[in-house]
Chain A
Amino acid sequence: MSNQPSRFQPLDYALALALSSIAFLFYHLTLTPSLSYLSPDGNELATIPYVLGLAHMPGYPLYTWLGKVFTWLPFGDIAHRINLMSAALGALGIGGLYLITISLLHPRAASPVLRRAGACLVALLLAFSPTYWSQAVIAEVYAPNIALVALTLLALLYWERTRRDCHFFLFALIFGLSLGTHISNLGFAPAFILFVLLTDRSVLKRPTWWLAGLAGFGLGLAQFAWLPFKASTLNDRMMLERAPTTLKGIYNYTLGAFPQFKFAFTLSQLPDRVVIYLYLLTRQFGWLSLILGVIGLGTLLLRRPRHYHLLVGMYLVHVWFFIQYRAFDLDVFFLPAHFLWAIFLTFGIVEMLAGLASIVNLISRGQAPRVVHWLIAALTVMVAIIPLSRNMTTSDHSYDVAINDFYTNVWEMLPSDSALLTQGGVFGYDAFYWQLVYDTRADVLLPTLPTPNPSPSDLHGRELYSTTTITGQNRARGPGALPPNLISGDIWQVPVLIGVQTGAPSLGGRRRLVLYHLIDHPPDLVVKDAKPSIRVDIDLDGVNLIGADLDIRTIESGGRINLVLYWRIDQPRRFQIGTYLGDQALETHDIGFGNLERYQAEVGPVQGRIIMEDYWLVIPSTTPAGSHALTLRVEGINKEIGVGILEVIDQEEAMERWLRIAGKSSSAP
């Protein structure tokens, strides 16, 4: 029985709660306020739970249902509440990690205070590691999945202690359910089976044990009945090709999803992939974690061989699978492996602390060792400040308001009964979110919302706008692209509203927030005369800024200003203009917004003529109240051109404004 996991003391529950609370506090402080492009699927995953729809492959039923529960929170908008789910379940995973490690650390490994200090430290190291943190502040499946992995392990360890069939049922149920946050958890099954065999082979002879296991796992697995039930709600081209409407379809949508990415590397490429994994691991915990983790593996093996086989079995299958996975952003897929490595790391750190304590015991007398132990424990936990301070700034996405600011202005600007063309499928949810959740501007048609292949007749009689480039060389392609025959290739795309580029560079972070008006005639790029209210008349190496018109001087943050610029181009070449509010870059664009070349080809030369740019700019809701200089900068020329001073006021909270424009009060839905 000495190989049994330790029972939790009340103090351990308190510490687990404290660790979860600390993690949650920091996740909440750095939480993305609402929609974001930090994950390519994030806006879909923020919407699907509310509408109880079907997410992209492999469906994530449990994630969807848990998300629905979080949408009942009485504050923030729906996307904010789903982001909070990641924070809460990510924090739960941290508390779970502490409980798992403290139950596995052998009482003889070190004194209780040092064991707890080591376990607390590693829980915090994981909490503040860059990849884990990045997933705990956005709508994504990875942080909730870690909570499920932790609960699965805790349930298994609990069964190990009690050996009661009802507790095995609980484990099997949680394990089955965890496939609904990430189906790769299925790879843990061989390790679980091995662990059960090593723990108590006699259970195999008990029909009730079999019944408990199969019923629990089957019940958990039954969540995937959600897939055919909700298959009719799919609107993504790639997902529709593998719609889960038959047994084969369900297989294709789940275990058979993304076959081209699995085992995608040859044997000779695997060493590089292993090194990539090691590199990603050291990014989380530092290079020392490799050595301490290996030491931890050794002590885990000697002190708890059965648990070693459980955890190493889980770890190896996971790493083996994902080093051969051709994902673009591989780091997030290794989170369960990082979680498991954190357990090994705890063993290594506690062993190191025990060694340190032995030295102290040898050289100290009386009460001194006890005091020094406490001191070592305190210092150990304080090491967590290092990753916290190092990763706080880069993990902070609380300023990421670009999508919400942009779309609230879009909804205010669009004329009645117009149509807004957006990318289809998973990538379209930055726009779909508003109509699906808040029924915002129901008069505006989003043709790609019900289907990725709308027909031209759907658009008949409507004024057309788009948030995606649909003509020319720069047109959006891929599964979210609009059907090529939807609108004429001769159409002109004229930018009318420009949102702020999303904050940190990220996967999909390049996406520009631009509302285009689609017209079938050339835009009024060239004017005969310019009488700007703000006269500038400055020559910038081949281009002359004649002046500007600015409609208002006082603006609520999150609102928009109308800017009209008058240019005279003396030497035709590419000029890129940046608009700045104080030090903050609002947007950059080519003079003429990409239409200049075509204009010259189809309408006439622009050299020596006056070019007019008339557009609206979103002022981010994170802009502090006060006076801000609005300036222009021409790329390659080190010169700032003042356009005017904007008085930004902040009378309405950003979330309040978003909800007001979305059409609902903050207490609903």
Chain B
Amino acid sequence: MVENRWQIIIGAVMLLLIMLTGAFSLGVYIGRHGLSQEGLRYQPDQPGGMPEPQSADRPHNLPSGDPDLIGLIRTLSPQGIQLATQEGPRLVEVDDATHVQDTEGRSLKLPDLRLGDIVAVFGDFTPGDGRRLLATHVVRLPPRQPAQP
């Protein structure tokens, strides 16, 4: 029983820490992103999927089909772009051959992108457990319009 008691005490401390970690993380998340799910929405019916862009807005010179990702730029670096997408945060890698443009087909440079821009990414997935997306095209989309009442 004495042995069990210690197991229970240690286990209770662990449980408390688990709950504290969860609560702390939620608090930090709300502090950063508010109550919105923008940073980590995840659609159960579209695993890894993305909404289709409006066909009329489809930019020029893009690979056929849907983009691999659409998301809001959270961080930017020469190596990659951290996006907030409907599937949660995603890190997209870029290289010298990555083409950046806007929806009018005008070429841009990576530094032209700004935090908070919404972009559509076309790219190549690398295989294996660590799935990466190397962007071939990054398209800056027009800012989201506020919802109409």
Question: Which residues of A does B touch, CB under 8 Å?
Answer: 3, 40-41, 44, 56-58, 130-131, 134, 198, 236, 238, 257-258, 260-261, 270-272, 274-276, 278-280, 283, 290, 294, 297-298, 301-302, 305-306, 308-309, 312, 316, 325-331, 333, 391, 393-394, 425-427, 469, 473-474, 476-481, 501, 504-512, 574, 576, 588-590, 594, 635-636
Contact = CB atoms under 8 A, between A and B. Distances in A.
A336 to B, nearest CB: 14
Contact of B127 (A56, A391, A509): A56
B49 to A, nearest CB: 3
Nearest to B24: A271
A536 to B, nearest CB: 22
B11 interface: yes
A469 B127 contact: no
A478 to B, nearest CB: 4
Interface string B58-100: 1011111111100000000000000000011111000001010
A394 B67 contact: no
B128 A278 contact: no
A510 B68 contact: yes
Contacts of B68: 510
- Name the residue among A329, A427, A469 with the largest chain B CB count within 10 angstroms: A329
B127 A504 contact: no
B146 interface: no
Contacts, number: 191
A398 B65 CA distance: 22
Nearest to A141: B129
Given A305-B4, A469-B63, A312 B124 contact: no
B58 A272 contact: no
Contacts of B15: 294, 297-298, 301, 312
A512 B47 contact: no
Contact of B46 (A261, A504, A574, A576): A504
Contacts of B88: 276, 279-280, 330
B1 to A, nearest CB: 11
Given A479-B127, A480-B124, A507-B131, A473 B61 contact: yes
A312 B14 contact: yes
B130 A238 contact: no
Interface residues of B, number: 63
Given A279-B40, A312-B14, A636-B55, A477 B134 contact: yes
Contact of A394 (B22, B28, B44, B122): B44
A55 to B, nearest CB: 10
Nearest to B12: A301
23 contacts: A3-B4, A41-B127, A130-B44, A130-B47, A236-B127, A258-B128, A270-B25, A271-B29, A272-B32, A272-B89, A274-B25, A275-B40, A276-B89, A290-B22, A294-B19, A306-B7, A308-B7, A329-B131, A391-B44, A473-B61, A478-B134, A507-B131, A510-B63
Nearest to B67: A510
B129 A305 contact: no
A274 B40 CA distance: 11
Contacts of B28: 271-272
Given A272-B39, A279-B88, A477-B97, A329 B47 contact: yes
Contacts of B8: 301-302, 305
Given A271-B25, A574-B60, 12 more contacts: A3-B4, A44-B127, A272-B32, A278-B25, A279-B42, A331-B42, A505-B66, A506-B48, A508-B125, A576-B55, A588-B64, A588-B65
A270 B21 CA distance: 10
Nearest to A333: B129
Nearest to B82: A269
A312 B42 CA distance: 26
B104 to A, nearest CB: 11
Contacts of B147: none
A57 B64 CA distance: 31
B25 to A, nearest CB: 4
B44 A57 contact: no
A238 B134 CA distance: 14
A329 B124 CA distance: 14
B125 A305 contact: no
A635 B56 contact: yes
A226 to B, nearest CB: 18
A548 to B, nearest CB: 21
Contacts of A391: 44
A41 B25 contact: no
A509 B39 contact: no
A193 to B, nearest CB: 15
Nearest to A427: B127
Nearest to B37: A279
A43 B39 CA distance: 32
Interface string B109-130: 0000000000000101111111
B63 A474 contact: yes
A331 B4 CA distance: 36
B26 interface: yes
Contact of A478 (B46, B122, B125): B125
B139 interface: no
A502 B99 CA distance: 26
B133 interface: yes
Given A56-B128, A326-B130, A512 B65 contact: yes
Lowest 10 A-B CB distances belong to which pairs? A505-B49, A426-B127, A328-B131, A478-B124, A274-B25, A271-B28, A261-B130, A305-B7, A258-B130, A271-B25
Given A271-B28, A280-B42, A326-B91, A474 B136 contact: yes
A509 B49 contact: yes
A426 B128 contact: yes
Nearest to B61: A473
- Name the residue among A3, A305, A426, A511 with the largest chain B CB count within 10 angstroms: A305
- Name the residue among B14, B47, B131, B132 with the largest chain A CB count within 10 angstroms: B47
Interface in B1-39: 4, 7-8, 10-12, 14-15, 18-19, 21-22, 24-29, 32, 37, 39
Contacts of B7: 198, 305-306, 308-309
A276 B125 contact: no
B125 A328 contact: yes
B48 A505 contact: yes
Contact of B11 (A57, A309, A331): A309
A590 B64 contact: yes
Contact of A329 (B45, B48, B97): B48
Contacts of B130: 258, 260-261, 325-328
Contact of B55 (A271, A308, A635): A635
Nearest to B84: A272
A279 B97 CA distance: 35
